[in-house]
Amino acid sequence: MMVSSPTGLVDFHCHLDLYPDFESAVEQRERDGLFTLTVTTTPKAWPHNRDITEATRHVRSALGLHPQLVDKYSHEISLWKEYLPQTRYIGEVGLDAGPRFYKSFEKQKEVFAQILSACALSGGKILSIHSVRSSKIVLDMIESRLPSTRGRVVLHWFTGTPSEAKKAVELGCYFSINPTMLNKNRGRKLVQSLPIVRVLTETDGPFTGEIIAQDGTTAVLNTVAGMAQLFGKEEEEMRTAVIANLRSLLQ
């Protein structure tokens, strides 16, 4: 598939359906040629997202069941499975062991295990995965349930240790980087340790620590600039690298 993006920018994880005007956000990204993966948080949101992005050139929507919502919506896994054949893109899915969500962690693992196995069975899916305070378990589950020949993983807002990042690279994972990650030394160090061929950009708008405008462009440009510095590249080279990575991911 050709990825045509006149501005050469990528937002591989955001929530356009949570902006006040979903449709205008999609239209703006279409006009700007910003390649966008808009993720969903429950399968109930899928049909509307699918319909709005069906005929778009640059915007794709993903089928999700967010780990932070699993406590309430784990029963929607059956609906998630029903919609699975309708899309190549899966997200937001994963695990969250932060203090607010730890009480549902066992349930989250059950749901995520089913998601990974269903993706492995279908084959050809691309997943945007959340792994707050759970990088090790997320990677172990990917390793045991989703061989790289059966699906591709993009770790969204990854905050694992250097050795976990290394393992993720070995498993074939990509990493989508947002501006908030680059605000901290730890995040910058992590990004710097990644192979340049595995990095993408994202905004996670509207949820990132900073306010992300619905068009996403400024946030992505700032991220590209920050990443260029970390990798010792010109901004233009970094943009080209991200687009090349997107192409190889989607290939």
3 state SS of 73: helix
Query: Checking phi first, is residue 33 left (phi over 0); if not, alpha (psi -120 to 50) or beta?
Result: left
Q: How far apart are CA 78 and CA 180, in angstroms?
A: 34
Residue 11 as a binder of Mn ion (CB under 5 A): the answer is no
Give the Cα separation of 19 and 185 in Å (integer): 30
Tell the smallest beta-carbon distance from residue 127 to Mn ion (Å).
13
Q: How far is the CB of 11 from Mn ion (least distance, A)?
A: 11
* Helical residues (DSSP H) of the chain, grouped into ranges: 22-32, 46-53, 70-73, 77-83, 105-122, 135-145, 162-170, 185-193, 217-231, 235-250
Burial class of residue 133 in the structure, from the number of CB atoms within 10 Å of its CB (0-12 exposed, 13-18 middle, 19+ buried): middle
CB of 149 to Mn ion, least distance (A): 27
Window 22-51: residues binding Mn ion (CB under 5 A)? none
Residues 68-127 that bind Mn ion (CB under 5 A): 92
Nearer Cβ to Mn ion (104/128): 128
Write each residue from 145 to 184 as x if it is in contact with Mn ion (CB under 5 A), else as -, in one continuous string: ----------------------------------------
Calpha distance 144→142 (Å, rounded): 6
Q: Which is nearer to Mn ion, 69 or 146 (CB)?
A: 69
d(CA 75, CA 224): 39
Least distance (Å) between residue 91 CB and Mn ion: 8
Other C-beta atoms lying within 10 Å of the C-beta of residue 6: 10
The single residue among 32, 96, 204, 215 that binds Mn ion, judged by CB under 5 A, is 204
* Residue 84 or 132 having the CB closest to Mn ion: 132
Q: Which is nearer to Mn ion, 34 or 228 (CB)?
A: 34
The least CB distance from residue 235 to Mn ion, in Å, is 25
N- to C-terminal Cα separation, the chain: 7
Q: Of 79-87, 137-145, 198-206, 216-224, which segment contacts Mn ion by CB under 5 A? A: 198-206
Question: Residues with Cβ < 8 Å from 194, sequence gap 6 or more?
Answer: 165, 169, 175
Please say which residue, 154 or 199, places its beta carbon nearer to Mn ion: 154
Give the interface size with Mn ion as a residue count (CB under 5 A).
Answer: 2
105, two tokens: 């962690």
Find the part of the chain contacting Mn ion (CB under 5 A) among 22-30, 165-173, 200-208, 216-224. 200-208
Written as one letter, the residue type at 153 is V
Nearer to Mn ion, 16 or 52 (CB): 16
Closer of 92 and 96 to Mn ion (Cβ):
92
The site for Mn ion (CB under 5 A) is made up of: 92, 204
